[in-house]
Amino acid sequence: MFELRNISAGYSGTQVLRGVNLKIPASSVVALLGPNGAGKTTLLRVATGLLKPTSGQLLIDGEDVTGAAPHKLVEKGVCHVPEGRGVFRSLSVRDNLLLQAVKGDQSEALNRAVTAFPRLGERMAQTAGTMSGGEQQMLALARAYIQKPRFILLDEVSMGLAPKVVDEIFAFLEMLAREGASLLLVEQYVTRALAAADFVFLLNRGSVAFAGQPAEIDAEELAERYVGAG
């Protein structure tokens, strides 16, 4: 269980998050939705240790890890897939994957990546920056998967991708949850996020405006009122 308890945070005097409570249980997908500027990225920064909250706690399996450095949280199984993908564009697919591999486990790492996205197997020698946006996103997710993360925080994974690719990526994310991971999905693509999510949090002006199950939400109304994208 990954938990943010009563978190407030901001930037040099500007408060962005105001007393946010959010839980990500094991084996679940939690969608974090909200309009531009609501504080979604700021919340991810707190959750990955990049930004220290001004008050509140970050808990992993009940242990207080508030203020821990990002690499400490990585050691505890936290993995961040940032918006813009974070792959090394000038390196080959293989080298991007091997950078994530622990020494000695290189073939296991490559096998794991290809199990996640078979298409990567055909493109091992290709320079990552020359792949399509969807393939780069798959590579970013495969790099995360190699680390066997327990808590996966994803910023706008479906941004700018074709619906078919989005389907493939969401199927993979749901598989990760079935394998036991906890996923936090920051999404503009409301319909897909609600279809995949077990729980939904709606952030508005730095506060949780709704927390509950997707069935309790009218996706169309939500898209119109808060997000502006279906």
Contacts with ligand ATP, residue ranges (CB under 6 A) = 11, 14, 16, 34, 36-42
Cβ proximity to ligand ATP, 135 vs 156, nearer residue: 156
Cβ proximity to ligand ATP, 40 vs 94, nearer residue: 40
Alpha helices in 156-197 (DSSP H): 163-178, 190-196
Cβ proximity to ligand ATP, 96 vs 188, nearer residue: 188
Cβ proximity to ligand ATP, 45 vs 94, nearer residue: 45
Q: How far apart are CA 161 and CA 165, in angstroms?
A: 6
**What's the closest the beta carbon of residue 118 comes to ligand ATP, in angstroms?**
32
**Torsions phi, psi of 218, nearest 5?**
-90, 105
Q: How far apart are CA 208 and CA 175, in angstroms?
A: 27
**What's the closest the beta carbon of residue 204 comes to ligand ATP, in angstroms?**
9
**What's the closest the beta carbon of residue 29 comes to ligand ATP, in angstroms?**
19
**What's the closest the beta carbon of residue 30 comes to ligand ATP, in angstroms?**
15
Cβ proximity to ligand ATP, 17 vs 165, nearer residue: 17
If we measure between CA atoms, which residue out of 24, 39, 11 comes closest to residue 208?
39
Q: How far apart are CA 134 and CA 172, in angstroms?
A: 13
**What's the closest the beta carbon of residue 112 comes to ligand ATP, in angstroms?**
30
If we measure between CA atoms, which residue out of 58, 16, 25, 31 comes closest to residue 189?
31
Other Cβ atoms less than 10 A from the Cβ of 166: the count is: 18
